[in-house]
Amino acid sequence: MCGIVAYVGQKQAYPIIINGLRRLEYRGYDSAGVALLNGDLNIYKKKGKVADLEEHLQDKELKSTIGIGHTRWATHGEPNDINAHPHFSASGRLAIIHNGIIENYNSLRKDLINKGHEFLSETDSEVLIHFIEDIQEHNNCSLEEAVRLALTKVVGAYAIVVMSKDDPNMLIAARKGSPLVIGIGKDEFYLASDATPIVEYTNEVVYINDYEIAIIKDNELKIKDTQDVPMTPYIQTLDMELEAIEKGGYEHFMLKEIFEQPRSISDCMRGRLNASTGHLMLGGIREYANKLVNADRIIMIACGTSWHSALVAEYVFEEFCRIPVEVEYASEFRYRNPVINEGDVVIAISQSGETADTLAAMELAKSKGAIIFGVCNVVGSSIARNSHEGAYTHAGPEIGVASTKAFTAQLTVLTMMALRVAHRKGSITERKYRELLVEFEQIPAKVEKCLELNEDIIKISELFKDATNFLYLGRGYNFPVALEGALKLKEISYIHAEGYPAAEMKHGPIALIDEEMPVVFIATRDSSYDKIVSNIQEVKARKGKVIAIVTEGDALIPKMAEFVIEVPSTNEALMPLVSVIPLQLLSYHIAVMRGCNVDQPRNLAKSVTVE
């Protein structure tokens, strides 16, 4: 959740690090800091934004060719200057930046206090660097060995970078459960939580695996595991362009990413789907395809928006593949004793591929003999590496914290998986299969048409920007869309919003409806149309304000609803890819009108890499 940036080489480190921290602001944070080495090891840190840190450093001496930087999202200790990273060791000769949580920090802290250590912060990270130095001093060993020994004793998750005043050409990094990537330049190295701070300097990277330690010294990279066994670095080429992580003229990344969806959905399909030939192939699920086709059940594990995409996919898989599907919150699945049989298929879904709960849940399922398929966006991510097989969404970088194109990209991939399985299994007719492929290929153009509604949605947003509550209702395939619409509104505008199956309104939420309550109905023409019309009438009878997402040409609902947004017609199984677009725009514009930080909502992080 926090952001790590580090550099060692021939260039000035500070401009690279501060630029990298700005690139990582989308991950969510509450403070920032840097450590630079130029004779003395100096740490500068500040509560607030990276801009606050830059202002704090205006009169400081910042020349250095080695440094580490960090954006913190508070876990242990409130957001303030002292708890911000980096942290010194007891002697001040070592500095650390850390993402993750050290679960046994309290017992380590007590032991160190008994040895005379004094701590300035409330963080588990400061405990870790004190612990590393304590091991180095008492074992008279190298810093590399001290880090290795310390990591065999700590419990929890971490991505760390350590630098030493005694060695101005060395950085030591390690990870377990929190992402870390090393960019390789000419006699220089860049370290970061993800590739966004690296892409403008090099396209050659090494992704550090769990329980690996990277030692960068004298222009050389060595990797060992925590048992001191040397590993061979696997160098990959980044598939990312600098322009993809720039706003490109849009006011916010979120708006840019909403408008990128016609392209990102097309990119998901490219090379995989061709309706004219009936071709649909996902190269990443060839070896285990029969396991998916013959599965007795499928379990989907995810968090947040990814969970909503899984809920839609549940409908798709069950309707067309006739395979029972369970959709689980990864955070709950991992802590109970789920019934998993050998050969069960688990689909793990995550935009970043680094979601801590999802990773833990898939490891639990794998340990019980399940086959794991990963669906994620980030090439080389932990979920991609730890799955038996899977598929990338190819949506391109998503910088906005509130996922938009991730939802439609995940749903595109999951729907293609379902149709591929259904066709191989023979659970849908050839005619139906071909019809669905034709409809599927038209989705990017229909999403483009939805985006043309932007000005109309701005007008509706203006009328409801001061609301204190929203209710979102949908049925069937559109029920998860109601959940997603409500999530988008609450996370970026801070308006309380709830999504419900429309039929469940009578079982409680109807008590909330009065003339002040806006109710958003996803009411496109499908098999539940007549029922949702009745639900709209129930809301109107209680003077609720109805905003309806309807199919183009609907003649009935516009007579009932105060506000109508028309979307193009498509097969109801594909409609969530279309009907979600106006809800994304509605939440965005309301948030902007309320003066909210759309790309970096309070208290949220883009990649949830801690519990």
Residue 2 pLDDT: 79
Residue 602 pLDDT: 77
Q: Taking 90 as the threshold, does the pLDDT of residue 66 lie above it?
A: yes
Confidence of residue 538 (pLDDT cuts 50, 70, 90): confident
Cα–Cα distance measured from residue 504 to residue 508, given in angstroms and rounded to the nearest whole number: 7
- Dihedral sign, CA of 602, 606, 610, 611? positive
For range 230-242, the mean pLDDT: 80
Tens digit of each residue's pLDDT (9 = 90 or more) over 314-356: 999 999 999 999 999 999 988 888 889 887 899 999 988 888 8
Q: How far is CA 187 from the centre of its chain?
A: 32
Cα–Cα distance measured from residue 55 to residue 74, given in angstroms and rounded to the nearest whole number: 22
For range 2-11, the mean pLDDT: 93
Q: Taking 80 as the threshold, does the pLDDT of residue 232 lie above it?
A: yes
Residue 74 pLDDT: 78
Q: Regarding the domain with residue range 3-243, which homologous superfamily does it belong to in the CATH classification?
A: Aminohydrolase, N-terminal nucleophile (Ntn) domain (3.60.20.10)
Residues 234, 240, 241, CA angle at the centre, nearest 5°? 140
Residue 1 pLDDT: 55
Tens digit of each residue's pLDDT (9 = 90 or more) over 292-303: 999 999 999 999
Lowest-confidence pick of 208-217, 230-239, 400-409: 230-239
CATH class of the domain comprising 248-441: alpha beta
* Nearest alpha-carbon partner for 351 in 316, 287, 394, 296: 394
368 is catalytic: no
Cα–Cα distance measured from residue 1 to residue 543, given in angstroms and rounded to the nearest whole number: 43
Residue 283 pLDDT: 82
- Start and end residues for every CATH 3.60.20.10 domain found in the chain: 3-243
Percent over 70 (pLDDT), the chain: 97
Residue 75 pLDDT: 78
The CATH T-level fold of domain 451-598 is Rossmann fold (3.40.50)
Q: Taking 80 as the threshold, does the pLDDT of residue 424 lie above it?
A: yes
- Start and end residues for every CATH 3.40.50.10490 domain found in the chain: 248-441, 451-598
Residue 240 pLDDT: 66
Q: Taking 80 as the threshold, does the pLDDT of residue 76 lie above it?
A: no
For range 100-104, the mean pLDDT: 90
Cα–Cα distance measured from residue 357 to residue 362, given in angstroms and rounded to the nearest whole number: 9
Residue 470 pLDDT: 94
pTM, whole model, 2 decimals? 0.78
Residue 382 pLDDT: 84
Query: Cβ contacts of residue 432 below 8 Å, gap of 6+?
Result: none
Task: Judge contact between 161 and 189, C-beta under 8 A.
Answer: no
* Angstrom distances, CA of residue 266 to CA of 73, 183, 317, 412, 441: 35, 29, 21, 9, 8
Q: Is the peptide bond before 86 cis (omega within 30 degrees of 0)?
A: yes
Tens digit of each residue's pLDDT (9 = 90 or more) over 28-49: 788 999 999 988 999 999 999 9
Q: Which candidate in 45, 446, 488, 606 is catalytic?
A: 606
Confidence of residue 244 (pLDDT cuts 50, 70, 90): low
* Angstrom distances, CA of residue 89 to CA of 195, 206, 446, 474: 28, 28, 57, 55
* Tokens representing residue 551 in the block: 């199919």
* Nearest alpha-carbon partner for 4 in 354, 455, 442: 354
- Dihedral sign, CA of 439, 550, 252, 207? negative
256 is catalytic: no
Q: Which candidate in 2, 268, 303, 450 is catalytic?
A: 2
* Nearest alpha-carbon partner for 556 in 589, 524, 601: 524
Lowest-confidence pick of 96-105, 332-341, 412-421: 332-341
Cα–Cα distance measured from residue 38 to residue 62, given in angstroms and rounded to the nearest whole number: 8
For range 129-144, the mean pLDDT: 95
